Amino acid sequence: MKESQICLGCWEHMHMPTVIRGPFSFLFKSFGIKRSQMHPNLCTYCESNFAKIMKHKQIPVSTTILFADIRGYTDLSQQIEGAKVNELLNSFYDRCSAAIWEEDGIVNKFIGDAVLAIFNFPLIRKDHVQNAVSAAVQLQKNCQHLKEEIGLSDIHTLGVGIGIHTGECYMGEVGTTYKDFTAIGPVVNLTSRLQGAAGVGEIMVTEEVFNEVKEQFPDAQKKTLTLKGINNPVTGYVLT
């Protein structure tokens, strides 16, 4: 990933050159503005002052949502020492972040053994569906030998499952006493459930996502899924 000297979010949305690297970055750090943990080319002003920048607390945005989760984590965490669990999570987070950032997505949240990534905000990208799928493919490659590298090769059920869906979400600040920048709406909920249906090493996508990338995955396996909390059956595709 090419590192930017200025925050790409501030530049794309406000044409404001917020310096996050280089000799002038200390001026912004003195005002509490530094690199964001969600993406190395964004700054903390983007995530903490959303309403001020966008003039709204939340806005509708066409986004692609990716959830990735460690399969077998709950059982494993009861079998091995805490230090090894931390090593597993840290390695997983690092591999996820690298794949997501490379495709201009943001790592919005770490939720236990899961990662929530958002594509097409605040970094606006025309091919955000393709970006999310490419990130998922690279993420699986990054995690392919994860268990061997940390000494858990005998745990056959350990791996990563990924779900991807695209559509309109509401992006912005959630909460009053504690403000959180995130995406909310049915697209996020469905993606979370879809990820739960993905097996070890699988990338499960909705029909909306598959239609954007089907030429790259002619052998994708079609499935009809009944997902918890989703009223109607969902057509999913396992990308291979």
Question: 97-120 pLDDT, tens per residue?
Answer: 999 999 999 999 999 889 999 999
- For the chain, the domains span 8-48, 58-238
> How many whole angstroms separate alpha carbon 95 and alpha carbon 109?
14
Question: If you average pLDDT over residues 164-190, what whole number do you get?
Answer: 87
Question: Average per-residue pLDDT in the chain?
Answer: 90
Q: Shortest CA distance to 115 belongs to which of 134, 96, 142?
A: 96
The three-point CA angle 106-74-39 to 5° equals 10
Alpha helices by DSSP H, listed for 49-127, are: 50-54, 73-77, 82-102
Answer yes or no: is pLDDT of 8 > 80: yes
Specify the CATH number of the domain 58-238: 3.30.70.1230
Query: Side chain identity at 100, as an amino acid letter?
Result: I
- pTM, whole model, 2 decimals? 0.92
